[in-house]
């Protein structure tokens, strides 16, 4: 396998429909009313090759309706953005932990003290790597764009001239061409447009395979790569040229890819053979977004049309003739001129009109449409879960948020592909930057979606301590599940030091409970 030949269609012809759908979903996710109008009005071509706009004209899109003689007063509610953010927060509002796994065990399945030290050292280095690149924020943003676009890519990058450690960066799905064999990712091409000059486009392609990364620059047009040009003709490629002697190929010492593509969800109902992933925003969901905007616009038009008005005879607005009488100096938007003659005294010269504003009808319709769109994307609404209410038990929350939790579980399965990538990160760190740590397998441990209140934790600790069913270490870890083992041990030692040998001791989390002092690791 290699990079595309000169004058190849790009993105590949077989992925035209997928890229067109991603372009449409991207516009909804962006939420720019001008771009929505251009999309459904035919001014934006979301296909990378066809000159025919692929948006179906059979459906009467609200954003495709326009009257050039009238002011465009359409209103957009960013429901697509809200749903994408909801997905990201559901997955990674509480960051997952990437835990280094031991690989050497004795006959009894125990890890030796020596190997445990190796694991702990690797874990400290991994924690440092992920914290320094703010990988938590990368995961949040990746989960959000993936929900909208359908997939997201991660790649390991480094510069030996100015960096001391490798990093992992995010690439959105509409800049990725993944290749699968028997359902397994075998190659991944990231691409970007370096320059657009008239119809001429300069493309940069970065292809990842097992054992190597290849870079190339092409000079072409929309939908066609054109011809490959030397890397050294572009200033952006200077660092790559220095690394590869202008061949564009970087050989990696690790027998695996330095990148991965993570699907948002599978399968894709519109292309069941594809392994790339599907967006939360199916074509049916987009029609619901369109209906939401149509409804909120109707409400705003009602408000505009329903304001109080004065119907005023035009002779009341004429003025300053002869005896300089008769003039109406009110706010112009408050009145409408009517043609009436002064002698016609059967009609008053000024009438007041107040049109009805259908607020309740519009808001009920909006609530239904938004809730329906949220459910279609695989989530429970806040009203179902009970936003703003009191504390709920885990069982209550799980019951009310069943749909959201099921969607979260599915998506987390695909993000499990990061485990292999982060193990690769440790290999790159050791081979390229001589970290001195032993690369080991990594397991992703997602945080619980059911957040327990401090009061519930305190009550749990109190029951455990009164029944003498837990050690100090277990009690501290129960109160602080996010703490590392070192932090837990330090807290236990502090509690023992403060209590003093033989002195009464207060068990953590149990105010006013006095129990006899015991050995540091004994059960209480």
Least trusted range by pLDDT, from 173-177, 226-230, 444-448, 454-458: 454-458
Average pLDDT over the chain, rounded to an integer: 82
Give which of 178, 158, 177, 161 is closest to 169, Cα–Cα.
Answer: 158
Angle formed by the axes of helices 402-415 and 79-92, nearest 10° = 70
pLDDT for residue 164 is more than 60 = yes
Evaluate whether 63 touches 37 at the Cβ level (below 8 Å).
yes
Q: What is the pLDDT of residue 134?
A: 95
pLDDT tens string 357-403: 788 899 999 999 999 999 999 998 876 666 554 555 556 656 677 89
Q: What is the pLDDT of residue 336?
A: 54
Question: Phi and psi dihedrals of 321, rounded to 5?
Answer: -105, 160
Domain segments of the chain as ranges: 308-354, 454-515
Least trusted range by pLDDT, from 51-65, 260-274, 312-326, 470-484: 312-326
Give the pLDDT mean for 302-307.
Answer: 73
- CB-based burial, 77-114: b 16+ in 10 Å, e otherwise: bbbbeebbbbbbebbbeeebbbebebeeeeeeeeeeee
Angle formed by the axes of helices 79-92 and 283-305, nearest 10° = 130
Could you tell me the pTM of the whole model?
Answer: 0.77
Least trusted range by pLDDT, from 318-322, 391-395, 498-502: 318-322
Which string of DSSP letters, residue by residue, matches 420-433?
Answer: HHHHHHHHHHHHHH
Helix or strand run (H / E) with residue 183: none
Q: What is the pLDDT of residue 379?
A: 93
**How many CB atoms neighbour CB 127 within 10 A?**
15
Give which of 91, 98, 156, 96 is closest to 128, Cα–Cα.
Answer: 98
Give which of 257, 277, 274 is closest to 266, Cα–Cα.
Answer: 277
Range among 42-51, 72-81, 348-357 rated most confident? 72-81
pLDDT for residue 517 is more than 70 = no
Which string of DSSP letters, residue by residue, matches 248-312?
Answer: -EEE-SSSS-SEEEEESSS--TT-TT--S---S--HHHHHHHHHHHHHHHHHHHHHHHTS-EEEE
User: Which SS3 state, helix, strand or coil, does residue 211 take?
Assistant: coil
Evaluate whether 175 touches 190 at the Cβ level (below 8 Å).
yes
- Cα(327)–Cα(348) distance, rounded to whole angstroms? 16
- Cα(44)–Cα(34) distance, rounded to whole angstroms? 11
Quick one: DSSP state of residue 238? Answer: H
- Cα(327)–Cα(187) distance, rounded to whole angstroms? 78
pLDDT tens string 405-453: 999 999 999 999 999 999 999 999 999 899 999 999 999 999 876 655 5
Question: Phi and psi dihedrals of 61, rounded to 5?
Answer: -65, 130
Evaluate whether 510 touches 461 at the Cβ level (below 8 Å).
yes
Give the pLDDT mean for 228-247.
Answer: 85
Residue 521 binned pLDDT confidence (cut-offs 50, 70, 90): very low
pLDDT for residue 205 is more than 80 = yes
Q: What is the pLDDT of residue 172?
A: 97
pLDDT for residue 15 is more than 50 = yes
Quick one: DSSP state of residue 43? Answer: S
């Amino acid at each position: 396998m290699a990079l595309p030949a000169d004058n190849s269609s790009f993105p590949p012809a077989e992925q035209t429909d997928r890229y067109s759908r991603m372009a449409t979903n991207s516009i909804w996710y962006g939420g720019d009313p001008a771009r929505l109008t251009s999309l459904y009005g035919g001014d934006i071509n979301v296909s990378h090759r066809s000159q025919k706009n692929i948006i179906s004209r059979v459906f009467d899109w609200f954003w495709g309706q326009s009257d050039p003689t009238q002011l465009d007063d359409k209103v957009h509610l960013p429901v697509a953005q809200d749903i994408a953010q909801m997905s990201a927060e559901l997955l990674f509002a509480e960051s997952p932990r990437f835990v280094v796994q031991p690989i050497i065990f004795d006959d009894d399945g125990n890890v030796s003290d020596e190997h445990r030290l190796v694991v702990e050292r690797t874990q400290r280095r991994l924690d440092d790597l992920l914290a320094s690149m703010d990988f938590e924020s990368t995961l949040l943003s990746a989960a959000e764009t993936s929900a909208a676009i359908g997939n997201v890519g991660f790649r390991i990058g480094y510069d030996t001239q100015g960096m001391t450690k490798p990093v992992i960066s995010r690439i959105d799905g509409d800049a990725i061409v993944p290749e699968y064999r028997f359902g397994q990712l075998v190659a991944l091409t990231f691409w970007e447009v370096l320059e657009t000059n008239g119809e001429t486009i300069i493309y940069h392609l970065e292809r990842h395979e097992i054992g190597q990364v290849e870079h190339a620059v092409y000079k072409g047009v929309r939908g066609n790569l054109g011809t490959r040009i030397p890397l050294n003709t572009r200033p952006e490629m200077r660092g790559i040229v220095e690394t590869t002697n202008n061949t564009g190929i970087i050989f990696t010492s690790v027998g695996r890819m330095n990148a991965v593509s993570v699907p948002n969800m599978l399968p894709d109902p519109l292309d069941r053979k594809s392994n790339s992933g599907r967006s939360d925003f199916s074509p049916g969901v987009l029609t619901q977004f369109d209906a939401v905007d149509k409804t909120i616009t109707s409400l705003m038009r009602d408000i505009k049309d329903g304001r109080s008005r004065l119907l005023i005879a035009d002779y009341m607005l004429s003025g300053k003739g002869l005896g300089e009488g008769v003039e109406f100096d009110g706010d112009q938007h408050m009145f409408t001129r009517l043609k009436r003659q002064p002698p016609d005294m059967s009609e008053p010269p000024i009438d007041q009109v107040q049109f009805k504003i259908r607020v309740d009808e519009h808001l009920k319709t909006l609530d239904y449409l938004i809730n329906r769109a949220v459910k279609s994307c695989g989530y429970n609404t806040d009203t179902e879960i009970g936003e703003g209410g009191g504390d709920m038990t885990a069982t209550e929350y799980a019951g009310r948020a069943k749909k959201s939790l099921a969607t979260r579980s599915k998506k987390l399965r695909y993000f499990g592909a990061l485990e292999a990538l982060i193990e690769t990160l440790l290999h790159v760190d050791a081979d390229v930057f001589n970290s001195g740590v032993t690369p080991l397998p990594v397991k992703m441990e997602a945080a619980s979606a059911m957040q327990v209140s401090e009061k519930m934790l305190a009550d749990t600790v109190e029951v455990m301590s009164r029944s003498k069913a837990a050690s100090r270490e277990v009690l501290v870890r129960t109160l602080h599940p996010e703490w590392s083992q070192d932090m837990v041990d330090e807290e236990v030692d502090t509690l023992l030091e403060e209590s003093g040998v033989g002195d009464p001791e207060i068990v953590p989390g149990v105010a006013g409970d006095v129990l006899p002092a015991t050995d540091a690791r004994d059960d209480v």
